[in-house]
Structure 1
Amino acid sequence: MHPLHKCLLFHLLMYLGRSADGSEIINGKLAPENSMLYMASLQNSNGHHLCGGFLIREDFVLTAAHCDPGITHVVLGTHDLKSVNDDNKISIKDKYKHESYKNEGNGNDIMLLKLSKKVSLNGRVQTIPLPTSGIVMNKQDDCQVAGWGYIESGGRAVDDLRVVDVSIINLEVCKEQWPFDLPANVICAGGYGTDKGFCQGDSGGPLVCNGKAVGVVSFNNNFICNYPDKPNVYTDVSKYLTWIDDVLKLDE
């Protein structure tokens, strides 16, 4: 790689300020216990929360590719990470990172986790449907993002799942706010023109609109969560349905 390209890439990644240290929701509220039963906490061997994710089949969790380092198991069936027990923990058997992923700035920030066993769907654990191909998102859609962790820039992590309403931002408007070209296949929502959005590490959690997981939390602006700032960026799930289906079929 040309040294200039290396320099530009380094500064781009520093600007993105990507992190997988936990899920943080800004100006949100506690998620009701009977809601968002598809949410997964991705954790390391020490039981520390690293990223969010969401259950799309009894044995598969969808998350962000940049969440890969360190995760060993997922936690399902609880909104309170202080109440985790062995029944909530499921080890990860395989990781399927998108083959074109390099970093968040280049896009394709999506990964499937094959669980070591199928989970039972019940009053505590449910899957969430994915969008259809060609879905068009607009500002009027009812959208939310959820996660565990900081509730302000440089703040503290929380153990209870939090959720916040966010609005879809027109992609052209979003592109104008960022000083570099956004990757293809993304959705922008929250973090700009509002005081609500995600903070560092909400990584891998879902952008849920009209009951479907349409996006995967990818990056925000350089660890800054004192919104309004630059739009939050998500991987557009609808652009990866064929890839998702191909991975799921490998384990049928």
Structure 2
Amino acid sequence: MLLLLLISSAFVLPWAGAGEIIGGNEVVPHSRPYMAYLKIQVTNNTGTFHSYCGGFLIRPDAVLSAAHLNVTVILGAHNIRVQEQSQQRIRVRNFVVHPNYDPDGHVNDILDTNATINANVQTITLPRHNEGVQVATECEVAGWGRTSLGNNRTNVMMEVVLKVQNDTLCLQQFRKYRRQSMICVGDENGTKGTCHGDSGGPLICNQKAHGIVSRRPSGLLFPAAFTRVSHFVPWIPQQLRRFALQELPASPSSQ
């Protein structure tokens, strides 16, 4: 599910799952200023607990992610356990669910106030509608999720390089894999990838946010299915207009 978190509202796209960085390296602090850390408060019959995932800033008032309800967005962070001076904490105001929402997938959101753009907080460009990525293209994923299939957590942002794979691999692995709205990604050696904790983070290919961390086979790292952002690009400007927000500035996604 794709979630459009507007710093003054929120949106959701279908099919975005959990994720962690495994087999990666710590990023240079604040070298990915578009990254967002999302703290999620969940209340059910057993009480209230907190979860987390990733996202990315596509304009000063909009974060794209796969989050759920009751979200606080933290921008400008490297070590999420420290109150860094670079951090900006913003509450999400509204959520909008994509009409093709799949209960097996996730959402998009809008924030409660504009982020302050500076050296540590910046936006990332979206691809054009249906813009593709060639098989074997090397892409980057970053986040604060687990660093192993166990419970190992990291306080600092990690990153990993993964390759775009042929869709056939994911069609064989996932019952609901859809070529148009998903990208097959992974490391053929099965030693690095994503899992719980980095859900909603961006797959950066050719300096654009082409994908969103979504699914992988249980207990395995390869292959993984990411949400394909370019498939949903026409829907995003439509939702921004609903909230009387401007188009994405200088972005091919609004064309």
Listed as ranges, the matches of 1:3-152 within 5 Å are: 20=18, 23-45=19-41, 48-64=50-66, 67-69=67-69, 71-84=70-83, 88-104=88-104, 109=106, 111-152=107-148
- 2:198 and 2:215 map into 1 onto residues whose CA distance is 9
Deviation at 1:195? 1.7
Q: Which moved more, 1:184-193 or 1:148-157?
A: 184-193
Deviation at 1:19? 6.2
**By percentage of residues, which structure has more strand?**
2
* Residue 247 (1) aligns with residue 239 (2): yes
TM-superposition CA deviations, 1:85-119 (whole Å, max 9, x none): 69521000111221221223xx6x4x321111001
Question: Would you say how many aligned residue pairs link Structure 1 and Structure 2?
Answer: 221
Deviation at 1:128? 0.3
Secondary structure of 1:149's partner? coil
Q: TM-score, normalised to structure 1's length?
A: 0.80
- 1:122 and 1:138 map into 2 onto residues whose CA distance is 32
Q: TM-score, normalised to structure 2's length?
A: 0.79
Give ranges in structure 2 of 5+ residues lacking alignment.
1-15, 42-47, 246-255
The one-letter code matched in structure 2 to 1:63 is: S
Secondary structure of 1:41's partner? strand
Deviation at 1:47? 9.9
Q: Which moved more, 1:47-56 or 1:239-248?
A: 47-56
The one-letter code matched in structure 2 to 1:55 is: L
Question: Does the 8 Å contact 2:169/2:184 carry over to 1?
Answer: no
Change in Cα spacing, 1:179 to 1:127, as seen in structure 2 (3 Å) is closer
**By percentage of residues, which structure has more helix?**
1
TM-superposition CA deviations, 1:165-188 (whole Å, max 9, x none): 000001123213x16241351001
The one-letter code matched in structure 1 to 2:108 is: L
Question: Does the 8 Å contact 2:124/2:208 carry over to 1?
Answer: yes
Change in Cα spacing, 1:140 to 1:179, as seen in structure 2 (3 Å) is closer
- 2:149 and 2:139 map into 1 onto residues whose CA distance is 22
Partner of 2:175: 180
Partner of 1:5: none
Change in Cα spacing, 1:248 to 1:19, as seen in structure 2 (3 Å) is closer
Give ranges in structure 1 of 5+ residues lacking alignment.
1-17
Partner of 2:213: 217
Sequence identity (%): 34
- 2:216 and 2:93 map into 1 onto residues whose CA distance is 30
